[in-house]
Every structure is written in C-alpha cells, then in structure tokens.
Amino acid sequence: MLLYAGGHFIQTLEGPDDVVDATYERIARDPRHRDVFTALREEIESRTFPDWSMGFESVSAEEAGVLPGFNDYLDTKTVSEESGRDLGRAVVFHRVFRDRLR
C-alpha cells in the first residue's frame, strides 16, 4: 500500500524477504527519495493488503469527507476508540506517517 499526503509518501512492502529487501534498497537509492526509513518490519502469515492495486485520485477535503470510512486522522491526531481497536499494527504505520508530516 502507498499513501500520499502533504508531499510525503509512506509505503507497505509485502512479500518474500529477498523481494522486499531488493525493492526497499532500490527505493532508498533512488535520488527522488529522501529520509527513507523502516517504521515496522515483521514476519506475517498472510498479506495484509493482498488485493491492493495502485491508483491516484486528488480530492478536496469536502470530497474526502463523504467517502466511506474517511476520517481526519492526519489533521486531528485522534481516532475513535472503535477505529483504534480495528487498526492493530496499521496504527503504527499511520501514526509514523502522520507524525512525520509535521
């Protein structure tokens, strides 16, 4: 999964170690990237984002506000108790991204 906000990207890489490591190294060497770091690395039983495909859509805050599941987490730094339970390990991913935006 690849997220973008405020000129920043954060990406989840999943797959066999050798493939993930090669992809990460290619990203880290790419001069278009800076401040590349690993937020979380762990073994998983199955992919978290198995059906993910790339796409990009630029939407206004008003348009985003009516999307199912949207919240203003990146701006408010708050998550409902219910959403927080559902985030699991993904909360690490999102918090690191949000906190590095500042």
pLDDT category of residue 56 using cuts at 50, 70 and 90: confident
Determine the 3-state secondary structure of 60 from DSSP: coil
The confidence score (pLDDT) of residue 91 equals 66
Report residue 63: phi and psi, to 5°. Answer: -65, -40
Handedness of CA 36, 52, 14, 84 (dihedral sign): positive
The three-point CA angle 91-92-96 to 5° equals: 115
pLDDT given for residue 19 in this prediction: 94
For residue 4, name the pLDDT band (cuts at 50, 70, 90).
confident
- Residue 24 pLDDT grade (very low, low, confident, very high; cuts 50, 70, 90): very high
